[in-house]
Structures are given as structure tokens and as C-alpha cells.
Chain A
Amino acid sequence: MTDPGPPIMQLVGVGKTYQTRDGKGVVALTPSTLDIQAGEFLSIVGPSGCGKTTLLNMMAGLIAPSSGSIQIAQSAGTAPRIGLVFQRPVLLPWRRVIDNVLLPVEVMGLAPPEAYRARALELLAMVGLEGFANAYPSELSGGMQQRVSIARSLVYDSAVLLMDEPFAALDAMTREELNLELLRIWKMTGRTIVFVTHNIPEAVLLSDRIVVMTPRPGQVREIVPVPLPRPRALSLMGDPDFGAIADRIRGMLRPAGAALAA
């Protein structure tokens, strides 16, 4: 990470203001500037209302920024430049697991289908779901469903993988297991990942850099590098350096004088 090269995604002065009915605006995100490097694992941490989901949705192209611009390095062909993983698996219950993974291939008309099918099966094996290709989502646990949604986000090439609190709905053990799995997948695929969470230890464990955001108005407070060695294991969480970084972030999220509900 010493020589970052050109960023894969560049946010320049990106802000979002929602119009309210009385004509005044509510600032969801004050203009922010951020470079995302190819292949990095970047987390966005902050309490609810800090604009992190707004920021992610703008990166995903789902909502338009009120100001500033978002540039994404051209990825292969006409494929969408982002991949998306939600807090919920968002699988289509009437499709088998394999057909859920192949949904983006179908929608984008990627060819040849057989090659993508083989790739989907490989990805399912990679997320630990070998042999579940023909199952229906309702037959899987929540953690397994989220693995399917990760496989789905990886089946096509995207410049950046955006993950919006993907493990927030899972129990602590499944969450830790999937954290490690995600690190392994990230390493194997060389993807760029932007990961939104409100869990500070999770962010420290996973990330190269952490964007700390604060609410009212939503803004990027600071970008904290995580110079901990890789590969990382859960035992790293007992490391004093780990604790120091987590504490530093916690301190930023506890603004003096501001009323904090949680």
C-alpha cells in the first residue's frame, strides 16, 4: 500500500442535501472528498444518521449527489462498475441458489453463459456452499444466504464492491466467521471493497483504511489507516495496536457536548 497508483474511484466534493417540504434542505452529507485505491479494503464507520448509507448509495449510482462528482476507473467492457451487497441477502426466493448467483449475468446478458455458470459454481464453492447450487434460499440459514449474495456480487467483474453492513443481521459467531471468509475472498479475488459498518472492531479487523463519519450534519471526520499486518486472524483483536486504533475511532465518534443516544 506504499505506492497506491491511480485511484479506482474518486469522490470530489460529493455531498447530498434532501429537500424538505418547507423548502429548507436537510444535509445528509456535507461535501466530501475521497480516493479509493485499487485493491484496497476501505471501511466506512459511523453511527446511524452520519450519511454512510447515503454515501454508499451515491457510489452505487442509486441516488444522484447534490454536489461534486464521482469518477470510477473504467472496468472491463460495459459491465456495471460496482457490485452491491446489502444488509439482508436480498435473494429471489423463487430462484435456486445457482440462478440467484447468475441473476446479474442474465440481466446484463453476459456471454458465454456456460462459462459464467462454471464461475458461479466455483464462487459457491469458495463461499463454502458447494453442493447447495440447487437449493432454494428458504432452505438456507441467514449466514448461508448472505454467502450466496456475496457470490452473486462476485460473479461479474466490477471495479468496486460496495457492502452495506452485510453482516449486521447475523449472530456474533457467524459474523466473525464471515469476516475471516471475506478477507480470504478479498485476497483471492483482488477486489476493491468498500465496506459500511457501525461495528468498530469489525472495521479494524478488515480494513486497510477506515473512513470515520459523524452525524448532524453527516460528514467525513477523518480517514484512519490500519497498518496492522496481514493475513489477520481473530486473535489480532487482543493486540494492543488493534485496541489503540479502535479506541481512537471510538473517541472520534463520541463528540464532546453532543447528545448521543447510544
Chain B
Amino acid sequence: MMGERTVSALYAGGTLVFVLLTWQFAVTVLNVPAYFIPAPTNVVTALIRGRDLYAAHFMVTLWSTLVAFGVAFLLALLLGALVSEVRFLERTLYPMLVALQSMPRIALAPIIIVWFGFGPTSKIVLGILSAFFPIFLNTVHGLKVVDSDQIALMRSFRATRSQIFWKIKLPNALPFLLAGANIGIIFAILAVIVGEFLGANKGMGYLIVNQSSQMDTPGVFANIVLLSATGLVFHYGLQALRNRLLFWASGSEAAGTSA
């Protein structure tokens, strides 16, 4: 007997195979040129033939993304905690950051490249700017929506503010924090790619621009396959982390109120 998850995976995999086969068939039958829409086999061939090239550029993009995400995450956590704990900062820093959040940060990319150069630094800065806000806003929200009875309970034990923060507020905020991280990592990879489009000498974004200017469409598709796979790995990685850390978060409230 197969489990529910295996069945779901089979359905998803089957659909993917079906789409790829249809694609391959259509492109072959309709005689679509490879520079316009490459067949899946063209893409795989490009990927295998250029594996060293892809690996080198992929590592640059991956590294920039991970650094940007990591810095954004720590910064968002720190500022989120400060804004939700310190009344003064909530009144000064928070509205400022909320206002900045509505700014289209990707529009800053050309200027950021002027400021930080063609190397990975400018991409990391763009990635931080993009990934920071979803994580920050979720963290602040998560730290605010705390059960007032849990706070009253802690106060009845004469808990200090830091005990209340670490033992109550932060665990309560964790679901929001991870939801923010899930969006943040996608924003980070997007921003890094856009930065590499605009001015770089390494990275997947650079490679895509380069290849498409040479009509190497199979190569561009190979990049996209790699990036999609990376996105999926991030998504499922965070999902796995969520399942591990937040086993308690679903249904626990409902169980708490039922008699």
C-alpha cells in the first residue's frame, strides 16, 4: 500500500513527464527552431555539455543569494525584535521601514551597481534589500500577536522581559518568521539575478543575458531549469525545517479550546 505522499509525488511527476513529452513532440512535429523554443532534449544536452560553465556561474549566484538571505534574515530578526520591544523604535524606525517597504527596491539596481560595482557585492546588497522586508514585517507581526494570557502567566512567575521574549514571544513568532523567510529567499534570488542582468561578469543572470544575445536559447533554458531547481530546493528545505520546528503550530490551538 502506497502512502498519501508517494501517490501525490507520482501524480506530480506524471504530470511533469506528460508536459515534457508533449513539448518535445510539439516542437519536433511543428519544426520549431531551437533558437525560438528548444526541445527538452536540447536543453538537457546544453546542460550536460556546458556543465563546467554552468557550475561556475551557478556557484556565484548561489553564494550571493545565500549571503544576501543570511544577512537579511539576521538583520530582520534583530530589527524586528528591537522594533517590537522598544517603544521608541516602534514609533521612529518602524514607520520609516514600512514606508521604505513600499518603494520598488529593484528600481534601485542601476544605482546600487554604480555604488557597489560589478562584482557580487552589489548583487548581495540588492538581495538584502529585497529579502529583508518580508522577513522583517513578518517578524514584527509574529512578535506582536502573542497570547496575552501567556504573558500574564509569565508575569505571575515574575518573569523578566528577556525571559518573556525568549520563552514566549520568539517561539510564538516562529511560524511568521519562517513564512517571511520563504518569501525572502525567493526575493533574494530574484534580486541577485536582476543585478547580474544589469551589470556583472559572473553569475547566472550574466550568463542568461550573454547567451540570449547569442541566440543560445537552449542555454538560457538550461539556466532557468537550474534556477527553478534551486528555488524548489529552498522551498522544500524551508518546508522540512517548518515541519521539524513547528510540529506544534497546526491544530494545537483548536485542541486547546475543545473540551
Q: Using a CB–CB distance below 8 Å, which chain A residues touch chain B?
A: 60-62, 80, 82-84, 86, 88-94, 103-104, 106-108, 136-143, 145, 169-171, 174
Please determine whether A103 and B167 come into contact, CB atoms closer than 8 angstroms: yes
Taking a contact as CB atoms under 8 Å apart, the answer to whether B156 and A137 are in contact is: no
Determine the main DSSP class of B at the interface with A. helix
Cα-based distance from A82 to B255 in the complex (angstroms)? 27
Across the two chains, which residue of chain A brings its CB closest to B258? A142
Tell me, rounded to whole Å, the shortest Cβ–Cβ distance linking B176 to chain A: 14
Shortest beta-carbon distance from A192 to chain B in Å: 16
Picked from B167, B251, B259, the residue with its CB within 8 Å of the CB of A107 is: B167
Asked if B156 contacts A145 (CB within 8 A), the reply is no
Tell me if B4 is interfacial: C-beta within 8 Å of chain A: no
Whether the Cβ atoms of A61 and B259 lie closer than 8 Å is no
Given A107-B167, A137-B255: A62 and B155 within 8 A (CB)?
yes
The contact string, 1 if C-beta is below 8 Å from chain A, for chain B 143-166, is 000010110111111110001000
Distance between Cα atoms of A21 and B155 in the complex (Å): 27
Beta-carbon nearest neighbor of A172 in chain B: B259
**Contact residues in A for B147 (Cβ distance below 8 Å):** 90
Residue of A with least CB distance to B254: A138
Task: Answer whether A137 and B259 are a contact pair too, CB < 8 Å, given A61-B156, A83-B156, A84-B153.
Answer: no
Asked if B3 lies at the interface with its beta carbon under 8 angstroms from chain A, I say: no
* Neighbouring B residues of A82 by C-beta, 8 Å: 156
Which residues of chain B are near A94, meaning CB under 8 Å?
171, 248
Q: Using an 8 Å CB-CB cutoff, how does the interface string of B222-259 with A read, 1 for contact, 0 for none? A: 00000000000000000000000001110111011111
Interface size class of B (residues with CB under 8 A): 20 to 34
Check A174 against B171 for contact (C-beta < 8 Å).
no
CB of A104 within 8 A of CB of B157, answer yes
Contact partners of B167 in chain A: CB under 8 A: 92, 103, 106-107
B168 at the interface (CB under 8 A from A): yes
A-B contact number at CB 8 A: 80
Determine if A108 and B259 form an interchain contact, defined as CB atoms under 8 angstroms apart: no
- Residues of chain B contacted by A137 (CB below 8 angstroms): 248, 252, 255-256
Which residues of chain B have a CB within 8 Å of any CB of chain A?
Answer: 147, 149-150, 152-159, 163, 167-168, 171, 247-249, 251-253, 255-259
Contact assessment for B248 and A107 in the assembled complex, using a CB-CB cutoff below 8 Å: no
Q: Cβ of B156: which chain A residues have Cβ within 8 Å of it?
A: 60-62, 80, 82-84
- Given the contacts A90-B147, A107-B159, A136-B248, A142 and B256 also touching, CB distance less than 8 Å: yes
Complex-state Cα separation, A127 to B252, whole angstroms: 21
Task: State whether B152 touches A169 (Cβ < 8 A).
Answer: no
- The chain B residue sitting closest to A60, CB to CB, is B156
- Taking A60-B156, A62-B155, A80-B157 as contacts, is the C-beta distance between A140 and B259 under 8 angstroms? no
Contacts of A91 in B (CB 8 A): 256
Give the chain B neighbours of A86 by CB distance below 8 A. 149, 152-153
Tell whether, in the assembled complex, residue B259 and residue A142 are in contact, meaning their CB atoms are under 8 Å apart: yes
In the complex, chain B residues whose CB is within 8 Å of the CB of A92: 150, 167-168, 171
Report yes or no: B249 in contact with A88, Cβ–Cβ below 8 A.
no
CA distance A140 to B252 in the complex (A): 10
Contact between A93 and B249, CB atoms less than 8 A apart: yes
Report B-chain residues with C-beta under 8 Å of the C-beta of A136: 247-248, 252
| A171 to B257 Cα, complex, angstroms | 11
Report A-chain residues with C-beta under 8 Å of the C-beta of B157.
80, 103-104, 107-108
Q: Which of B153, B158, B168, B259 contacts A141 (CB 8 A)?
A: B259
Please give, as numbers and ranges, the residues of chain A lying within 8 Å of B158 by CB-CB distance.
80, 107-108
Q: Top 8 nearest A-B pairs by Cβ distance? A: A93-B252, A138-B252, A93-B248, A84-B156, A107-B157, A171-B259, A142-B259, A90-B149
A89 CB contact (under 8 Å) in B171, B251, B256: B256
A92-B168, A94-B171 given; 13 more Cβ-contact pairs under 8 Å:
A61-B155, A82-B156, A88-B256, A92-B171, A93-B249, A93-B252, A107-B157, A107-B167, A108-B157, A137-B248, A141-B255, A145-B255, A169-B257
